[in-house]
Amino acid sequence: MLSDRIQVLSESMTIAITALAQQLKREGKDILGFSAGEPDFDTPHVIKDAAIKAIEEGFTKYTPVDGIIELKEAIVDKLARENDLHYTTDQVIASNGAKQSLFNLFQSVINPGDEVIIPAPYWVTYPEIAKYSGGIPVIIETDDKTAFKMTPDQLKNAITPKTKMLVLTSPSNPTGSVYTKEEIEEIGKVLEGTDILVASDEMYEKLVYHGTRFTAAASVSEDMFHRTVTINGLSKSVAMTGWRFGYCAAANKDLIKAMKKLQSQSTSNVNSITQIAAIKGLDGSADADIEMMRQAFEARCDEATSLFNSVSGLSVVKPKGAFYLFVNHKEIEPDSMKFAKSLLENSGVAVVPGAGFGSDGYFRFSFATDIDTIREGVRRIESFIENYDKR
Ligand code: PMP
Ligand code: GLU
């Protein structure tokens, strides 16, 4: 009964494990959840107030598919002000989360057999939507020895005549690694003279630590500006995961038109109230809240990293951004599915196995939760490891 297309698609592992942890909690089990990819903070008041006003004023109807003009202007202004990227309003489109932006993009550019280069560890969704779009994911392996960053040579070797797109995620989910401006320039040089697109997922742009500087991929050269499709949103930076807002910017107006056409036949516009709220997340009104959350994540990042690095058998590269640790547990157990399952069943700690991100022998631990829960989580993981062989 089911289409061939849907059968190649796997469910999002991050969402599945988080749902399982929540179900176990509801059943009364003592579960600590570190699998969710969302901030524990509430959406800032300035954003909520704008939404409440929009409801009261009756801003509750359909809008243009790609977003109201005020929202598109706010996206254009944000990209110019913060990233030195200069687009017009017909080069941007608002969607129901960056996930839909990515889905629209892959569906609009991938033909059957096209190759999509995805450095691992990768966010769970990329290979799935590449396959769903008829594409072939080409995975470049990286590990903690290079802080999970792909080298220009690795990229060069992965390119074939069928390569259509490279996915870049900086800061990275799940490792928190961040490419420097120079590293992105090097990547850009490898791509020069090809028709390869870059999908630059910049969701964690605002969450960078210890003086790390974020660089927008499209900003490093004229060539990169033209080949890069910038994907961003407010889920992580302004704690708006449930509101469903993301956006995409591209120099190629026909690509934006294609994405709009697809969206017009699927979800239509982003919720009208979310659009009004999102303007406040983009225009600088929430900057103090963003900085408060960033500082809290930075403090947790420091503490969680040193706690894990003091556990015998585990090691972690300190992240430069995002809110995840990608912890190496190969000394204890090479199979990440087995490790994470046993940890959940025996110690009530939910983490996401590295296999879901294409890198076995690791687990992803989200530190987007309070510090006491983090300490208790690491304590449980340590005692789980001490007893691991006996099980
Ligand atoms: N990209 C990355 C790297 C993410 O971690 C997420 C989190 N879900 C998304 C895109 C999608 O976010 P959203 O759809 O909530 O905007
Ligand atoms: N991006 C988040 C994560 O990695 C949310 C879950 C999802 O959308 O898959 O956990």
Mean pLDDT, consecutive 10-residue segments, the chain of 391 residues?
Answer: 92 86 90 94 98 98 98 98 98 98 98 98 97 98 94 98 98 98 98 98 98 98 98 97 98 98 98 98 98 98 97 97 98 95 93 96 97 97 87 50
State how far the Cα of 86 lies from the Cα of 218, in Å rounded to an integer. Answer: 10
pLDDT at residue 2, as a whole number = 96
State how far the Cα of 72 lies from the Cα of 60, in Å rounded to an integer. Answer: 18
Domain final residue pick, 265, 284, 303: 284
Domain final residue pick, 284, 308, 324: 284
Structural domain count, the chain: 2
Instruction: Say what the pTM is.
Output: 0.96
Q: Which atom of ligand 2 is nearest to the CA of 99?
A: 8
**Is 391 among the domain residues?**
no
pLDDT at residue 13, as a whole number = 85
**CATH number of the domain encompassing residue 368:** 3.90.1150.10
Are the CB atoms for 124 and 357 separated by under 8 Å? yes
Q: Which atom of ligand 1 is nearest to the CA of 245?
A: 16
pLDDT at residue 12, as a whole number = 87
Eight-state DSSP code of residue 356: G
Cα–ligand 1 centroid distance for 255 (angstroms): 21
State how far the Cα of 214 lies from the Cα of 252, in Å rounded to an integer. Answer: 24
173 in contact with ligand 2, CB cutoff 6 A = yes
> Considering only CA atoms, which residue is closest to atom 3 of ligand 1?
173
Helix, strand, coil share (%) of the chain residues, nearest 5: 45, 15, 40
Do 200 and 93 belong together in one domain?
A: yes
> Considering only CA atoms, which residue is closest to atom 2 of ligand 2?
37
Q: Which of 9, 95, 123, 245 to mutate to test the pocket of ligand 2 (most atoms within 8 A of CB)?
A: 123
Do 277 and 148 belong together in one domain?
A: yes
Domain final residue pick, 227, 254, 284: 284
Domain extent, residue 316, equals: 4-43+288-386
**CATH number of the domain encompassing residue 264:** 3.40.640.10
Among all bound ligands, the one having the nearest atom to the CA of 97 is: 1
State how far the Cα of 221 lies from the Cα of 190, in Å rounded to an integer. Answer: 13
pLDDT at residue 273, as a whole number = 98
Do 244 and 314 belong together in one domain?
A: no
**Is 371 among the domain residues?**
yes
Do 242 and 121 belong together in one domain?
A: yes
pLDDT at residue 304, as a whole number = 98
